[in-house]
Structure 1
Amino acid sequence: MSDLHPAPRIQRADFGDPALAAFLQAHLDDLAPTAPAESRHALAVDLLQAPGVRLWVALEGTMIIGTGALAAMQVGHEEVKSMRTEPRCRGRGVARRLLEHLVRDARQRDVGQLSLETGSHDFFASARGLYAAAGFQLCPPFGSYREDPNSVFMTKHL
C-alpha cells in the first residue's frame, strides 16, 4: 500500500453498526448478477452472527473498506467467507491484508485448513488470483457444496 493509503485497521465486526449491515448488503447486491441464486453462497448478516463465525472489518478512519470472515465447518477446518473490498478501494491491498489476518487468526487457534468457494466468472478473477497468491490451491467441493460451473473451490493447509 502506498503512503496515500495507509494499512487499514482490522478489527472484529460490530453488528450494531448500521454501516456494517449496509456494507454486507452491498456485497450481496454485487453478487446477485454473477450467478443464479442457487450458486451464490454469500452469508447474510444474520448468518454471519451465528456461533462459529468470526467476522472482521478493515477500516480507514471510521469507514468500512473491507470484510472477511471465518466460519467453522469441522474441528480444524474453516471456510473463508464474506471477503469484500469497497469498490473505490480495490487494488490497494485491502483484501490481501484481510486474508493475511484471517490466516494468522486461524493459525493462532490451531486451525489446520482453510477452504473457500468463489465464483468462476470474470468478476471473481482478481479474487481467485489473490487466493492463489496466498497459497490456496484448487480442490474439489467441500462440506455441503456440490460441483457447480459457477463455483471454484480452493483450500490451503496451514
Structure 2
Amino acid sequence: MSLRIGLADLDDPQVQALIAFHQRAMVEGSPPGLSFALDLSGLRRPDVTVWAAHRETRLAAIGALKQLDETSVEIKSMRTDPQFLRQGIAAAMLETIIAHARDLGLTRLSLETGTGPAFEPALALYRRRGFVNGPAFADYALTDFNQCLHLALA
C-alpha cells in the first residue's frame, strides 16, 4: 500500500477525528496546563500548515508546522493513527515537514513535547533525525515535564 502525503483538508471528518484524538491524548498524558496541542481552530490559523498522510483512502497520520518568525518554525500536532504505528509513516511525515521548512529557507525547526513513556517513541524519532534538546522558545517554559528540541536547517 502506497503512502500519499499532501496538505490536509481540515473539513475532512477523518482529519478532524485524528486531531481530536491527538488533543485528548496530549491532555490526558500531561500535567494540568502543560499540554499545548492545537485544536482544530488553532490548526486553521494562517500561520499553520497541516499535512495528512493517507494509505489508500484511510488517514494514517497528520503533522503541522507553525511559523514562528522569518527564520524558524515549530512542529505541531504530529500524530499517527494507532492502526498505522511502526510503519515509517511518522518518519515520512517528519521528512515532509523538514523539506518544506528547508524549501522556505528557514534555519531552525523546533518542537515542544513531554517526558515519559508515552512520549519516548516520538522523542526517539526526532533524535534519530538530529533534533537535540535545547532552550525554551516562543512562549514555552521548560518544566520537569516538558522539553524543547531543535534542528538546525542551515
Q: TM-score range with shorter-chain normalisation?
A: over 0.9
Q: Report the equivalent of 1:16.
A: 11
The C-alpha deviation readout for 1:63-114, integer Å capped at 9, x for no partner, is: 1110111100111100000000011111111100000000001111111110
Is 1:126 matched with 2:121?
Answer: yes
Aligned-residue offset at 1:7: 4.3
User: In structure 2, what is the Cα distance between the partners aligned to 1:138 and 1:45?
Assistant: 28
Is 1:154 matched with 2:149?
Answer: yes
Report if aligned partners of 2:71, 2:106 keep a CA contact under 8 Å in 1. Answer: yes
Is 1:113 matched with 2:108?
Answer: yes
Q: Report the equivalent of 1:57.
A: 52
User: In structure 1, what is the Cα distance between the partners aligned to 2:78 and 2:28?
Assistant: 17
TM-score (norm 1): 0.93
Structure 1's consecutive aligned runs of 4 or more residues displaced over 6 angstroms after TM superposition are: none
**One-letter amino acid matched to 2:146:** S
SS of 2:68's equivalent? strand
State which drifts further: 73-82 or 15-24.
15-24
SS of 2:101's equivalent? helix
Report if aligned partners of 1:34, 1:121 keep a CA contact under 8 Å in 2. Answer: no
Is 1:101 matched with 2:89?
Answer: no
Q: Percent identity?
A: 32
**One-letter amino acid matched to 1:66:** A
Unaligned runs of 5+ in 2: none
Query: Aligned residues, how many?
Result: 153
User: In structure 1, what is the Cα distance between the partners aligned to 2:64 and 2:126?
Assistant: 14
The C-alpha deviation readout for 1:12-65, integer Å capped at 9, x for no partner, is: 010121111111001112222211231001000111010110000000111111
Q: Report the equivalent of 1:26.
A: 21
Q: RMSD in angstroms over aligned alpha carbons?
A: 1.0
Unaligned runs of 5+ in 1: 1-5
SS of 2:33's equivalent? helix
**One-letter amino acid matched to 2:81:** E
Q: Report the equivalent of 1:38.
A: 33
